[in-house]
Structures are given as structure tokens and as C-alpha cells.
Amino acid sequence: MPSVDGMTTTTAATAVAGASRHPGVPRQLLIDSAYVFSGLPIALANFVVVVAGVSLGTGLLVTVVGIPVLAGALRLARFFADLERLRIPAILRRPRVRPAYREPRPGAGRFARVLIPIADGQSWLDATFGFLRLIVSLFSFAFVLTWWVGAIAGLLYPLFDWAIPHTEDNTQLHEILGMSDTPQSRIGLNLAIGAFFALTLPLVARGMALLEASFARGLLTGVAEVRDRITVLEERRAAAVSAEANALRRLERDIHDGPQQRLVRLAMDLGRVQEQMHTDLDAARQTIDDALSQTRETLNELRALSRGIAPPVLTDRGLPSALAALAGRSAVPVELSVDPALGAPEGRLDAAVENAAYFVVAETLANVNKHSRAGECWLTVTREPKALRIVVIDDGVGGAHLAKGHGLAGLADRVHATGGQLDLTSPAGGPTEIRVELPC
């Protein structure tokens, strides 16, 4: 089972990546402070350019010249907005999101291309950000600079106390607080003040950086994130509808090809028995025996169909027992490894997640049995902090894919509908590896 070892490597890499996203306090302090300090000159340049450009373009709108000036100002606002989008991820620890700006239609004229930024709502949000960011940047800059100066000046005060003139005309802080006018009192008080500023500096710098970055994210990427979220939800809804439609069509086909045909034959057998009762009792008994056999086979097929929809063992005993039953019925030998905590009452997942996991494994093993020509299969199910990971590997001929019309297409739709992710690796000649992550 060589590919399963890669799961450990992937988990380790994920842990390292997660650690890198959460730097230590000193490094985070430097990142936050650099973000705030560099933000003020950028905000000032952004404000000057946008105010001058938009004001000039608006004033010249009575002439044709104002339109390209205004469009140019909006494009400059977009440049500053893109620069800020590059800076945000270091503070918010979120991936960069760039909104989809309106693009000119193919074959559009030069004038239409010039008008595109003016008709784009996100461009005006970028300009609004250029107007308002200076206020937020000044506020955060003042706080962080005050805390840095207070920390440095307080902690280094013993080095330059001798150089400060202490005359009788000056009333200093330690005297206002009722302390004696001695070097020890002055140094002790300033060291205490410096320690206070130094201890609270990471919190203040982090808070100001988050304030500035969150304000930028709200105007520059908030609309794009909402739009992307709506798109994802629409795709999940479409995937759910497609998966349910496929499941209903398959159920209808299975019922038509199996139990329905047997019930039709059963009805014919009972009609023949009714006629044979008056002419040939031995033949009637034989027909009744055949009808009973058909009834048992119909019941077995109905139980098999019900196991594919909502198996009682899944509800009663949990996911490990249900998956063990699936593996036991597989024609290809399955080496099963399931986290035992998933079967404990306190470790049970939501019913929707358990049903989705059961469906994924059932469909995958069905495809292995029908198409893979495999000699062995490995199934691993593990619980992670926010996801359920399912890995199915077989040593078959490979060549599986997720194209529409194939068995795995409905499986991909079902996984996507739950917000999960499915990855398929199946080169020609095998092996085939399916990795599924379901959010939980």
C-alpha cells in the first residue's frame, strides 16, 4: 500500500505549513509594525493621487478630456488597491482574493475601453478606499508609533537620564505622582512605563494592523468574497441536484430491472396457480415453490437497495460497522482501516456526514468490483480536526476518470454538494487512488 504512506507526508507538510502561518510574537510584532508604518506613506500617496485625479476628472467632465482623466484616476486607484491586496494576507492570514473587474467586450472600440473603469463598481470601491484609508492609517500609525517610542524611551531611559536637565522650574511626572526627586525615582518610574509599553506593544500593534487590514479587506475584497461564496453555493446546489437526480435514476433502474420484474413474474405465477388448482395440484405446488423463491429473492434485492440508501447498521452501530459490512460484501478483498473513535457515541459524526461517507465508500467499492479488475483494495478512514479523510486504493488496471456518464461522476457531485473535495489518481495500468475529504 505505497500511496497511503504519502498521507503521513502530506499531514506533516500540512502541519509545517500551518506552523508557518502562525509566526512567533517577536516576528508577528515586526510584521504588524512594518505593515502599519509602511501603510501611512502608501495611504498618503493613494489619497493625493485619487483625490487629484477624481477631482480633476469630475471637473472636466463637461469636456471630453474629463472622461479619460477620470478613467485614469480609477486605474491608479486599482493599482493601489492591488498593492494593498498583496499586503493583507500577511496580517489576516487569508489567501489573496482579487475581485473580477469588468472587462471590455471582444471587438470593443477604444472609447468603450476607456469607459470600462467608470462603469465598474469595484473601481469606485477602490477609489473610496483611497479616500478613507488615510484616516485609518493615521489612527493606527499614531498608536503604534506612540507604543514603540514609549517602550524604547522608557527601557533606555537609564542611559540618557544624565543628559536631561533637571531644574527646579520643571515639574516632572515623578514629582506629580508624589515621588521624591532622585535619579532612582526617575529611572524606576520610566522603566515601569517602558515595561508597560513593551508588554502591551504586541497587542496594540496586532490590533491596529488588524483594524487597518480588515478595513481594506472590507472594501477591496469583501464584495469579491461574497460573490465567490455565492458561486460556490450555487455550484454545490447544482451538484446536489445532479447527485440526487442520478441517485433517483439509478434507484429507478435498479427497481425496474430487479424487484419489479420479479414481482411481475410473481403475479403471473400466482395467476397460473389459480388455474392449476383445478386441473393439476402437483404443478400448482411446484409453481407455489417457485413463487416463494421469487419472493425471497425480491426481499434480498430490496434489502440490498435499502442498504445503498440508509443502512440500519449505519444508524445503529456507526460508520466503522457499516464500512466493515461493505468491505465484507466486496468481491475484491478489502484491507480496512477505520478510526475506531468514529463508532463511539461521543465520536459519532453528523448523520449527513456519515451518510455521505457511506455513500462514497459504497460507490467506490462498487466501481472497484465492476471495472478495476483489481486483486486487492485498501480503504483508510481517518478523522481530522475539521474533516473526515477517506482514501481508497486498488491495484487494478487504472484509467478511471470523473467524466460525465461514468460511475464516479455522481460520486464527485455528491462530495462537492457537501463542500468536500475529491482527488482521483488513476494512470493507465494502475493503481487507482481516490482521496475524499468531507468537512465535519
Greatest mean pLDDT range, 27-41, 63-77, 151-165, 390-404: 27-41
pLDDT at 4 exceeding the cut of 50:
no
- The DSSP 8-state label assigned to residue 385 in this structure reads S
Handedness of CA 164, 169, 175, 176 (dihedral sign): negative
Name the residue with higher pLDDT: 390 or 223.
Answer: 390
Q: Tell which wins on pLDDT, 248 or 93.
A: 93
Alpha carbon 195 to chain centroid distance?
Answer: 41
Contact 194, 152 (CB under 8 A): yes
Please list the alpha-helical segments (H only) found in 221-280: 222-255, 261-276
Looking at residues 217-223, what average pLDDT do you find?
A: 79
Q: Please say whether the beta carbons of 32 and 206 come within 8 A.
A: yes
Residue scoring higher pLDDT (204 or 24): 204
Give the mean pLDDT of 131-149.
Answer: 93
Render pLDDT for 144-186 as a digit per residue (tens, 0 to 9).
Answer: 999 999 899 888 878 876 666 565 655 565 555 656 566 676 7
Rounded CA gap, 284 and 290, in Å?
Answer: 10
How confident is the model over 288-312, as pLDDT tens digits? 777 777 777 777 666 656 655 556 6
CB 122 within 8 A of CB 75: no
Identify whether the C-beta of residue 283 lies closer than 8 Å to the C-beta of residue 276.
yes
Give me the phi and psi of 402, to 5 degrees please: -100, 20
State how far the Cα of 124 lies from the Cα of 129, in Å rounded to an integer: 9
State how far the Cα of 307 lies from the Cα of 365, in Å rounded to an integer.
14
